[in-house]
A and B are shown apart, each in its own frame.
Chain A
Amino acid sequence: MTFREYLSDRTERLIVGTVFAFAAAGFLLATGTAAGVLVILLIAWLAIAAGMLLFDYYKCRTRLRELWTVMDGLDEKYLFAECVPKGDGIYERKLLELTRRAGKSMIRAVSDAREAQRAYQEYVESWVHEIKTPMTAAELVCRNADAKTRQKLLPELAQIKAHVERALFYARSESAEKDILIREADLAEIAAQAIANHRTLLIENGVRVETEQIEQNVYTDAKWAAFLLGQLLQNAARYRSEHPVVTLSARRLGKQVQLAVSDNGIGIPAHEQPRVFDRGFTGQNGRARGGSTGMGLYLCRRVAGCLEADLRLSSEEGRGTRVTITFPAKENLTKT
């Protein structure tokens, strides 16, 4: 707060004071007070008023600075009113009281929302857990059914499984540290797991998968990495060309390992590429084909973040898409 701001806040008081001083001076002159005495009185009055003003200004400024320091030091700004040292003015105390009440209601709202979100996440996780039993049963029944029913039902079941899996990993990635365990893992095994998980979809779409030098050890959580890879395989099957081929190839980059998943599918237009990892983004391909939720690649980005892996996508329309996952080196891991 500058002195000018301070003064402008007190303009009315200053004007009233000055008018009163001149009125008093006129009255005193009219009742026969000597002019010399009047000048002394005015100077004394001015000095006292200015002194008081300055003193009050410094007091206000110090107090404000103190409050700013408190605010700057807080991570949760809404706790401000709870942390402020008591002021001495009644007016200020009343104001703070109001702020505190506002803050309290805010704190309650925030903790209610957090609790609701935690409960919801817990519910989703337990729901996914519960749905697994009937899904397993359905798949077993389907396997034992006649070939025609099986052919029809398996893809549907595979789709349900893929949706449920995404829901589970979405809920989990909120508190990933509870579940993720990064350790040395066999990339070839992860790839085999991911391919096996989506075998029905891949075979149904006539996809051929080729692997090149994927016999490498990487530092990651095998289950989460297989999920990530699975999303990419599903995309490759979904946005395929006439004769779809997906190539998984790995190479060492110093102490890191980079896995490239390339397909010869329909590709993604250049202007859409920067947004493909955004939540809920469905490009023209997704809209044209339907059934795209815009969650797959968004989850990939989240999961890659949890795995401390670097995820990049490049694509050329009509030629295909290439996604690279660079797994971290052991030394660069922030958590183990």
Chain B
Amino acid sequence: MQKIMIIEDDPVIRDELALLLENEGYAPLTVTDFSDVPEQVKRSAPALILLDIGLPGKDGFRLCADLQKTVRIPIIFVTSRDSSLDEIRALGLGGDDYITKPYNIPVLMSRIKAVLRRSGGTAEADVTEALGLRVDMAKGTAQTESGRVELTRNELQILACLMRRPGEIVSRADLIETLWENRIYIDDNTLSVNVTRLRKKLEELGRPDLIKTRRGMGYQL
């Protein structure tokens, strides 16, 4: 589990964000004493820091400058200051990304993922395997013992989303939400059409009933 340090002075945001990160499979660390932040960072060595700007004592800009001098840990600024000048200053100080409050939580999560990926922490697996099916995200193909088919971007993302949680029921709403995060802006009908096409392709691979429809609940692998 990757450690993410939250440097934020609002207790509700701090705790809820920690809970959210925990649910997303990260190990959150929170800072409650702002007098020796660089020391705490060094001690716990997180993979990523979420840094607020308005903090008691040293502000986020100065902390970022201090941290850049001592440790090389990616920093995402998370702040309610949204002037262009602040953003330029933050990125100039070595921040990896700049997100303004009130942030869109899925956006925050995907930015965290992106920064972690860039810093080499995790590369999102290009190939996923489950239930005898092998999906290659880079090539855009699905494969079983009996053959291989090419998938469109939409089909690929739908399949990938289901394969990340094999056996679980994924609701249509969750599926749509995930697709939108991947910049596929489809509606409910289009989702059905895409799933039908996907099923047809899986049928070619000899797996016609891999994706099960759970009436009123969603889809399940």
Contact = CB atoms under 8 A, between A and B. Distances in A.
A140 B105 contact: yes
B6 to A, nearest CB: 11
Contact of A208 (B12, B13, B103, B186): B186
B80 interface: yes
Interface string A250-289: 0000000000000000000000000000000000000000
Contact of A161 (B23, B80, B85, B102): B102
Q: How large is the interface on B (under 10, 10 to 19, 20 to 34, 35 or more residues)?
A: 20 to 34
Interface stretch (B33-41, B175-183, B201-209): B175-183
A141 interface: yes
Nearest to B22: A144
A140 B19 CA distance: 9
A140 B101 contact: no
The B interface, classified by DSSP as helix, strand, loop or mixed, is helix
Given A137-B13, A207-B187, A208-B187, A196 B83 contact: no
Nearest to A244: B187
Interface string B98-113: 0011111111000000
A152 B71 CA distance: 43
Given A137-B16, A206-B188, A208-B186, A221 B105 contact: no
A161 to B, nearest CB: 6
B190 A221 contact: no
Nearest to A172: B83
Given A197-B104, A208-B190, A209-B185, A223 B13 contact: no
B89 interface: no
A143 B180 contact: no
B94 to A, nearest CB: 20
Contact of B83 (A144, A179, A199, A202): A179
The A interface, classified by DSSP as helix, strand, loop or mixed, is helix
A137 B10 contact: yes
Given A195-B185, A203-B177, A207-B187, A140 B16 contact: yes
B80 A136 contact: yes
B185 A140 contact: no
B185 A202 contact: yes
B55 to A, nearest CB: 12
Contacts of B214: none
Nearest to B107: A196
Interface of A: 129, 132-137, 139-141, 143-144, 151, 161, 178-181, 192, 195-197, 199, 202-203, 206-211, 221, 223, 243-244
Given A141-B16, A209-B185, 13 more contacts: A132-B102, A135-B101, A136-B80, A140-B16, A140-B105, A178-B83, A181-B84, A181-B85, A195-B185, A196-B107, A197-B104, A206-B187, A208-B190
21 contacts: A132-B102, A133-B101, A136-B13, A136-B80, A137-B13, A140-B13, A143-B105, A144-B16, A144-B23, A181-B88, A195-B183, A195-B185, A196-B106, A197-B104, A199-B106, A206-B187, A206-B188, A207-B185, A211-B185, A223-B84, A243-B189
